[in-house]
Chains A and B, each alone.
Chain A
Amino acid sequence: MKKRRFPRRSIENVRDEGQVTPCLGLFLVLFLSTLLVSYLQMEMIRSSSRYLEDALAASGLASALIDVREYGSTHVVRIPDGTAAYERYCGALRANLGLDENWECENGKLISGQVKLENYTIYNVSGERVEACRLDRGREEWFGGKKGEIYAPNGQLVERTGVYGEISYPVKGILGLTVTARKGKLVDIVGEK
């Protein structure tokens, strides 16, 4: 049988000129876009963190109503009604974060899901004694200790009467990944000197 021969093809003839430049350009545009979107996402997360910290501080201050009579007579700053303070905190937090009845953010841009109040603790400091009360949907858990020994869950030393609030919330990140973030804030109340 006779072997069939094919003519040799030159690779050079098949190549098209000017293919590398558009590909490189497209790659650069895609790379730059990804980089900028990531940076924008980080900027959004940073901004939401600041916004949440503000909301936690404002809500903490809103709930921290002291006993004015006791303060007038003894100059001791004390939050007397824990349950009322907890309810005030929940109301203020919902308003400050713009949450609906299900504790979900209405626009869903910064917080992409339900916000949970993980910890709400009142610290009453009187002299060298710290009395703490953690509240959670009607349940009260009391604990205490000497001043300088009690720390808030975020690691801050409790030196004055104050309120600690901590929330967890889902954040949508790059490529649609959702992560749960936590944020806590201790608010001190200082009497007039």
Chain B
Amino acid sequence: MNLGRGEKAARKEALRQEGSIGDLLSVGLCILAMVAVMTAFMDCVSLVNKKTMVGQTARNYVLRMETVGYLTAEDELALRNALAEQGIEDVSLEGTTREEVDYGAEITLRISGKIGGHAFEEKKVSTAKH
């Protein structure tokens, strides 16, 4: 059956449903919001995990410091490398005990830097037992 041009256009118009773009837009916005929430969540979890790892590393090195009475040059290099591997930027060990102290004296390991652009400081205090 041959339909005229005007008739075809009228049929097409009739097939079109109202509100289709609105629905699509709302679905798109929901997906966008979910992606944003997920990204923020992943970012937060990654920061928390990185900080925990820095804490564990600091614990290992403060135990080493206890046995020798200070942070040796080799340990400092190894610590800086370990922190760099964990993605820590602008590492500073200012305030760390770098000279040998007597048995029972206080030793400090202070790590400061940036994790994903956020500044942090990790401080561990113990006593020398060498």
Q: Are A51 and B125 in contact (CB under 8 A)?
A: no
Known: A33-B37, A51-B55. A95 touches B123 (CB 8 A): yes
- Please tell me if A125 contacts chain B, counting CB pairs below 8 Å: no
CA A150 to CA B27, docked complex, whole Å = 64
Select from chain B the residue with minimum beta-carbon distance to A27: B30
Q: Are A43 and B48 in contact (CB under 8 A)?
A: yes
The interface bits of chain A over 84-99 (1 if a CB of B lies within 8 angstroms of the residue's CB, else 0) are: 0000100110011010
- Please tell me if A21 contacts chain B, counting CB pairs below 8 Å: yes
Q: Is the interface of B mostly helix, strand, loop or mixed?
A: helix
- Please tell me if A101 contacts chain B, counting CB pairs below 8 Å: no
Q: Are A95 and B48 in contact (CB under 8 A)?
A: no
Select from chain A the residue with minimum beta-carbon distance to B62: A58
How many chain B residues touch A (Cβ–Cβ < 8 Å)? 35
The interface bits of chain A over 17-58 (1 if a CB of B lies within 8 angstroms of the residue's CB, else 0) are: 110011001101100110010011001100100110010011
Select from chain B the residue with minimum beta-carbon distance to A18: B19
> Which positions 61-76 of chain B face chain A at CB distance < 8 Å?
62-63, 66
Which B residues lie within 8 Å of A26 (CB)?
Answer: 30
Q: Is the interface of A mostly helix, strand, loop or mixed?
A: helix
Known: A21-B27, A25-B30, A58-B124. A50 touches B55 (CB 8 A): yes
Band of interface residues on A: 20 to 34
CB within 8 Å of A: which residues of B?
18-19, 22-23, 26-27, 29-30, 33-34, 37-38, 41, 44-45, 48-49, 51-52, 55-56, 59, 62-63, 66, 103-104, 106, 108, 123-127, 129
